[in-house]
DNA sequence: GGAATAACCGTATGGTCATATGGTTTCGCG
DNA sequence: CGCGAAACCATATGACCATACGGTTATTCC
């Protein structure tokens, strides 16, 4: 059912995710949806949290792979962060779901909390990367990990908005897809210059 | 009526902006709302575009003031960009309206176009600032104006999200309000080092 | 086997909403 | 004055939706 909600919201927006529509998408009755969820709100929240968990799991897996391969921190981040961008149809769908729930979060504290938690996980992971980098001398000692994490997270989130709207708009000669990567690369290189080629 | 829509959306979300609620807020009949707008969609779109115009006017005025006062480009931008942040109750309301319509833009091409136009104005203004800076030697010659504008716009937009959620969360010792300004200041100082103290 | 439990269904209900309709009042102006 | 257009109103209509409810089928477990 969570998958059905996700498909409906991705395709036609939150308003299209009525209980009846979810039942139709699943191929069951309205009653069954009610059997598993006490209310429509609970169903939507569950679907949202599940999607976030899926997303964060993917990122965590990429991090684990990068660490196993003893890649530089910068390379790991450059691999993980664009995972949150709407660069293919699946991720565009996720972006649509995410934005729809972000709007809902404005009026629904429970959804807001879920959205805040996910954002905090991303920031936390970034702060950890910076801290690790400081320990091994890759990152300058006077860099504030939280501040750097907040900047990078904001940059990634902000670029996602533009990427969704016009992924192919030319920006400085490149389509935005490439330009966003270039911007992120430059910013990561600032924090993780890669001078000492330390591994994480 | 546009003001009424804005108040309703800011206070209770897009779904609260029913035609009947707008009429009640204005203090007139449902029929009158219909008299002036062919559909609810048209009403909402008008209200959204009006709010965007108000916002951009404020920014334009700040730019004009800064230019009249012969302030450095960096100072002007540092004054203008936080105007788009939800730092007080009025601007938090604007942020809420903006986010609500952003979600609507996912399913409504007309709203999407309006949102895209406003974003393009901000980026254009930023690109203009960078170009001006290059002409007077303030900005390094190999800086790509569009790329820099895209980065700064994304950073500002991304920080707005966080600022709305937790304006007072401590980030590196400062509350996020201050941290966001610090991040923006640092980033602007990178592009506009202020070495030659040129005016715009 | 049989009873309790979970899975599952179809429909009814009460509410909300956008829009349509058929009006009345106000006002500008020749 | 008078008349046409605008501003303005109250209510009707038809659609849709979340939830409630009373029921049937399948499964599990003693």
pLDDT value at residue A79: 96
- Using the Cβ of A67 and the Cβ atoms of chain B, whether some distance falls under 8 Å is answered with no
Sign of CA dihedral B9, B13, B14, B19: negative
In this complex, which residue's CA is closest to the C1' atom of nucleotide C23?
Answer: B31
Is residue A12 included in any domain, yes or no? no
- Using the Cβ of B146 and the Cβ atoms of chain A, whether some distance falls under 8 Å is answered with yes
The CATH number for B61's domain is 1.10.357.10
* Cα B180 from chain centre: 15
Is residue A26 included in any domain, yes or no? no
Is residue B63 included in any domain, yes or no? yes
Chain B residues whose beta carbon lies within 8 Å of the beta carbon of residue A159: 150, 154, 158
Domain count for chain A, please give it: 1
B132 vs B124: CA distance, rounded Å: 12
Count of CB pairs separated by less than 8 Å, A with B = 120
- Using the Cβ of A121 and the Cβ atoms of chain B, whether some distance falls under 8 Å is answered with no
Strands A170-171 and A174-175: antiparallel
Residue of B146, B165, B172 with shortest CB distance to A144: B172
Chain A residues whose beta carbon lies within 8 Å of the beta carbon of residue B99: 102-103, 106
Distance (Å) from the alpha carbon of A140 to chain B's nearest alpha carbon: 15
pLDDT value at residue A195: 65
Is residue B10 included in any domain, yes or no? no
Return positions of chain C under 7 A from a protein CB.
Answer: 7-12, 16-23
Q: What is the pLDDT along chain A (200 residues), one digit of tens a residue?
A: 999 999 999 999 999 999 999 999 999 999 999 999 999 999 999 999 999 999 999 999 999 999 899 899 999 999 999 999 999 999 999 999 999 999 999 999 999 999 999 999 999 999 999 999 998 888 898 999 999 999 999 999 999 999 999 999 999 899 999 999 999 999 999 999 986 655 55
For residue B174, the cross-strand partners are: B171
Least confident of A133-147, A185-199, B50-64, B69-83: A185-199
State yes or no: pLDDT of B130 exceeds 90. Answer: yes
Is residue A109 included in any domain, yes or no? yes
Is residue A184 included in any domain, yes or no? yes
Please tell me the total number of residues recorded for chain B in this structure: 200
Chain A residues whose beta carbon lies within 8 Å of the beta carbon of residue B14: 103
Interchain CB distance below 8 Å, B172 and A147: yes
CB B17 within 8 A of CB B101: no
Region B161-189: what's the mean pLDDT? 97
**What is the extent of the structural domain holding A154?**
41-191
């Amino acid at each position: 059912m969570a998958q059905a909600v996700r498909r409906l919201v991705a395709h036609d927006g939150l308003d299209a995710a009525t209980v009846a529509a979810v039942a139709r998408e699943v191929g069951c009755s309205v009653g069954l949806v009610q059997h598993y969820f006490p209310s429509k709100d609970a169903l939507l929240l569950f679907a949202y949290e599940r999607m976030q968990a899926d997303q964060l799991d993917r990122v965590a897996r990429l991090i684990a792979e990068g660490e196993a391969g003893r890649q530089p921190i910068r390379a790991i981040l450059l691999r993980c962060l664009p995972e949150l961008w709407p660069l293919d149809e699946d991720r565009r769908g996720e972006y649509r779901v995410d934005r729809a729930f972000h709007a809902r979060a404005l009026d629904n504290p429970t959804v807001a909390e879920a959205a805040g938690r996910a954002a905090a996980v991303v920031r936390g992971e970034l702060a950890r990367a910076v801290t690790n980098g400081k320990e091994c001398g890759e990152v300058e000692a006077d860099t504030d990990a939280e501040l750097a994490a907040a900047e990078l997270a904001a940059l990634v989130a902000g670029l996602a908005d533009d990427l969704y709207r016009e992924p192919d708009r030319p920006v400085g000669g490149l389509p935005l897809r490439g330009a966003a990567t270039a911007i992120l690369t430059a910013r990561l290189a600032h924090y993780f210059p890669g001078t000492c080629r330390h591994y994480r």
